[in-house]
């Protein structure tokens, strides 16, 4: 059974601190929540367990009719496919004492350094390590 932690003896946490605490504790909360829920899907249970620790790496990967290459592999080719862009939404604060976050969407363009394939037994997740 999950219980709420009593924060009455702690100083009031501002929103930025709450988000930091959420990020720090999320994975343990997620695992505990999924393992006690008999109705949790197989996919959620596999995510909570985590991937196989043997992670294959690739210099190139084809997915959904797109080809991706690491920068080192791209340097050997005339066709460049190591650049990726992600639009990320995040909360921004002016200072540590600010409680009014501003949600912003920021595009990030990076170059693939490594390609990892995480194996969760029933499915795989592709991860790009970028710089």
pLDDT digits (tens, 9 = 90+) for 24-48: 999 999 999 999 999 999 999 999 9
Residue given tokens 């795989």 in the structure block: 124
Regions of the chain where pLDDT drops below 70? 1-12
Same domain, 116 and 130: yes
pTM over 0.95: no
Q: What is the pLDDT of residue 94?
A: 83
Residue where a domain stops, chosen among 50, 69, 89: 50
What contacts 24+ positions apart, CB below 8 Å, involve 30-35? 32/2, 33/2
Count H helices and E strands in the chain, helices first: 3, 6
Domain span holding position 81 = 51-131
Same domain, 76 and 32: no
- Rounded CA separation 42/58 (Å): 27
- Rounded CA separation 94/105 (Å): 16
Counted domains in the chain: 2
117 with 129: CB under 8 angstroms?
Answer: no
Distances (CA, A) of 34 to 24, 29, 51, 53, 91: 18, 9, 16, 21, 27
- Rounded CA separation 88/44 (Å): 23
Same domain, 70 and 129: yes
Same domain, 99 and 73: yes
Q: What is the pLDDT of residue 1?
A: 43
């Amino acid at each position: 059974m999950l219980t709420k932690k009593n924060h009455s003896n702690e100083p009031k946490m501002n929103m930025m601190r709450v988000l930091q605490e959420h990020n720090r504790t999320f994975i343990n909360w997620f695992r505990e929540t999924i393992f006690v829920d008999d109705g949790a899907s197989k996919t959620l249970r596999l995510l909570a367990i985590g991937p196989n620790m043997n992670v294959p790496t690739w210099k190139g990967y084809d997915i959904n009719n797109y080809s991706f290459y690491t920068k080192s592999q791209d340097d050997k080719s005339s066709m460049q496919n190591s650049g990726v862009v992600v639009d990320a939404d995040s909360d921004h604060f002016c200072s540590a004492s600010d409680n009014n976050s501003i949600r912003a969407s920021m595009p990030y363009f990076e170059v693939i350094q490594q390609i990892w394939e995480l194996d969760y037994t029933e499915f795989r997740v592709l991860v790009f390590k970028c710089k």
